[in-house]
Amino acid sequence: MTAQEVRLCGLLLREHFGEVVEKVGTQLLRSGAQNLRTIIHETGLSVDLVKKSLMVLVQHGACLFSSGRKGPGSPTEYRSGCDRILRILRYPRYIYTAKTLYGDTGELIIEELLQRGHMTMSGTVKTVADRLTQNMEEGRSMDYSEVSSAFSKLVETHFLQRCPPLAGAGTADSTNPAPGATPATPSTPAAPPTPESFPDCYKVPHMTLVGRGKRQLTAEDGEDQRNAKRQKMDPEAHGDEGIYWQVNFERFHLHFRDQAIISAVANKLDQTSSEIVRTMLRMSEVTTSPAATCTKPLSANEIFRSLPASYNIPRPILDQYLTLLVDDPMEFVGKAGESGGGMYVVNLHRALANLARATLESVVQERFGSRSARIFRLLLRKRHLEQKQVEDFAMIPAKEAKDMLYTLLSQNLVQLQEIPKTPDYAPSRTFYLYTVNQLPTARMLLQNCYKTVANLIERRLFESKESKRLLEKSQRIEAILASLQASGAEPEQLTEVEEMITAPEKQQLDGLRLHINKLDSAENQVDETIFRLESDVNSTATS
């Protein structure tokens, strides 16, 4: 929970949930597990606001609560983690992936679940069907069964999972027995049970939900809206009360990791090799655990049979491709045996480490130039080198090599290792070797990325605040235009309203829009780097 992470989480909470939730959230992140009274006291907010904020955080899975440390009678404690809040950066990527895999229906399901935290299946299906109906032509509407089938497909492939039922929430839940959960004895405050420890995690409930999406009429007065609200509040039991679904981020991360490996192979070798690797990863989707170092061994015969029909490469060519992949220095694919025509595995952790290393190298190259990048790569491969050896191996003149090495050293990308000849560490009798440690350097760059995104968000907020008056004016004019158009106005009135914004103001607005788009897009792309570095750091930490 570094300072940069806390700052970034605070900004993300502020953008999406408001400043009140930001205050409560940062208080929880900074000071660990606390009970309600402490939070109220430290933040200085009113009891009501703190309670609502905590509910919002729990709803979205950002905050966990458990009974206190001192035993069953002590007040409940709330704790929060940075990881879940940092996922908010990646929401657009999750939604886009769902769109590519499952179409518009899947996209809307994931979007609704991300916005609401967790929902029941029936609630999600109804809302998504209504939204889809809204965008379809007049007279057509979306059937609930189509949305339900898309939902079931998402659950089958583990992109959605049930929320874990809580042990100490006050009501005894016997509907979902949980053999892996700790019962109500809080003697050992163990880690909260993961959703995967429940056997029903991926079971779709039997649900009676028949109907079609309703097209929402644009309500002119508030009264119509209230009538619509009353209709929605009719309690219809669909047979799945109490079962809430949430998005399974880990599954999405596995998908992103696979995509990264496939695109890396395509860039380094060629399209056919990437197809082979894609086939291998697809075959081992269900058999590989998320934290595995490499996939289960697959025989060349199986791979040959499972290749997509459009790629009819003959068997010997496939063997040649596999040999090439194994011999490649990036070590994406390894050979695990000779039976069945050769057993091959995809080395997941090594692939992630190589991807992170490539990221580090490219960072050095873009910041300090290609010769410094050459020194950096040299040190990564040769581990420890003396000053003289660096100059010789890199084939760079001594003075420039010294300069570059010291720049890298001052930026902490390169470390100095002392090897004494005598026990008193006398400088004249000590070897000084330069070295690069990949893991600490990756961690440092990860923190830099968090700081970058936080700076981008702050700059965007600053730009919006500067032109707040102008933005509000344009919003008002758009709203007036929309209402005029809805009530059928003449073109002259519309142009008159449009001319309320002068030309230089329009220019300023366009420039502002361009800046904000650039900053937003930059946030998305820094998040890709964050994902690569994070997955490498996490995989090295667990292995």
Ranges within 180-219 binding other proteins (CB under 8 A)? 219
The site that binds other proteins (CB under 8 A) totals a number of residues, namely: 75
Among 26, 28, 60, 213, binds other proteins (CB under 8 A): 60
Nearer Cβ to other proteins, position 43 or 347?
43
Quick one: DSSP state of residue 436?
-
Nearer Cβ to other proteins, position 70 or 518?
518
Binders in 128-187 for other proteins, by CB under 8 A: 163, 166, 168-171, 173
Go through 84-116 and write b for each residue having 16 or more CB atoms within 10 A of its CB, e for each that does not.
bbbbbbbbebbbebbbeebeebbbbbbbbbbee
CA proximity to 213, closest of 286, 128, 97 = 128
Segment lying near other proteins (by CB under 8 A), choices 287-295, 316-324, 335-343, 396-404: 396-404
From residue 467 to residue 506, the character string flagging contacts with other proteins as x (rule: CB under 8 A) and all else as - is: --------xx--xx--x-----------------------
Distance of CA 336 to the CA centre of its chain: 33
Q: Tokens 């079962």 sit at which residue?
A: 243
Nearer Cβ to other proteins, position 58 or 512?
58
Least CB distance from residue 497 to other proteins, whole Å?
12
Quick one: DSSP state of residue 174?
-
Least CB distance from residue 479 to other proteins, whole Å?
4
The counts of H helices and E strands in the chain are 21, 11
Nearer Cβ to other proteins, position 76 or 538?
76
Nearer Cβ to other proteins, position 31 or 387?
387
Least CB distance from residue 489 to other proteins, whole Å?
14
From residue 233 to residue 262, the character string flagging contacts with other proteins as x (rule: CB under 8 A) and all else as - is: ---------x-x------------------
Nearer Cβ to other proteins, position 38 or 145?
38
Strands lying side by side in the sheet with 333-337: 298-299, 343-346, 333-337
Among 8, 11, 21, 533, binds other proteins (CB under 8 A): 21
Among 229, 230, 465, 469, binds other proteins (CB under 8 A): 229
- Greatest alpha-carbon pair distance for the chain in Å reads 93
Distance of CA 527 to the CA centre of its chain: 8
CA proximity to 246, closest of 171, 126, 154 = 154
Nearer Cβ to other proteins, position 62 or 300?
62
DSSP per-residue string spanning 40-62:
HHHH---HHHHHHHHHHHHHTTS
Nearer Cβ to other proteins, position 317 or 426?
426
Tokens of 317: 């060519």
Binders in 264-323 for other proteins, by CB under 8 A: none
Least CB distance from residue 214 to other proteins, whole Å?
13
Give the span between the Cα atoms of 503 and 261, in whole angstroms: 49
Least CB distance from residue 178 to other proteins, whole Å?
15
Those residues whose C-beta lies under 8 Å from the C-beta of residue 84, and which sit 6 or more positions away, are 60, 61, 62
Segment lying near other proteins (by CB under 8 A), choices 49-57, 191-199, 287-295, 435-443: 49-57
Least CB distance from residue 426 to other proteins, whole Å?
7
Residue positions counted in the chain: 543
The pairing of strands 343-346 and 298-299 is antiparallel
CA proximity to 500, closest of 531, 537, 520, 470 = 470
Nearer Cβ to other proteins, position 312 or 422?
422
Binders in 80-99 for other proteins, by CB under 8 A: 91-93, 95-96
Among 30, 38, 58, 214, binds other proteins (CB under 8 A): 58
Contact criterion met (CB below 8 Å) for 191 and 203: no
Give the span between the Cα atoms of 150 and 360, in whole angstroms: 40
Segment lying near other proteins (by CB under 8 A), choices 16-24, 143-151, 269-277, 531-539: 16-24
Q: Tokens 């697809």 sit at which residue?
A: 282
DSSP per-residue string spanning 417-436:
EEEESSTT--GGGEEEEEE-
**Across the strands, what pairs with 247?**
160
From residue 319 to residue 358, the character string flagging contacts with other proteins as x (rule: CB under 8 A) and all else as - is: ----------------------------------------
Quick one: DSSP state of residue 264?
H
Nearer Cβ to other proteins, position 65 or 321?
65
Count CB-CB contacts under 10 A for residue 224. Answer: 12
Among 31, 115, 267, 542, binds other proteins (CB under 8 A): 115
CA proximity to 112, closest of 136, 129, 134 = 129
Nearer Cβ to other proteins, position 140 or 232?
232
From residue 428 to residue 457, the character string flagging contacts with other proteins as x (rule: CB under 8 A) and all else as - is: x-x-x-------------------------
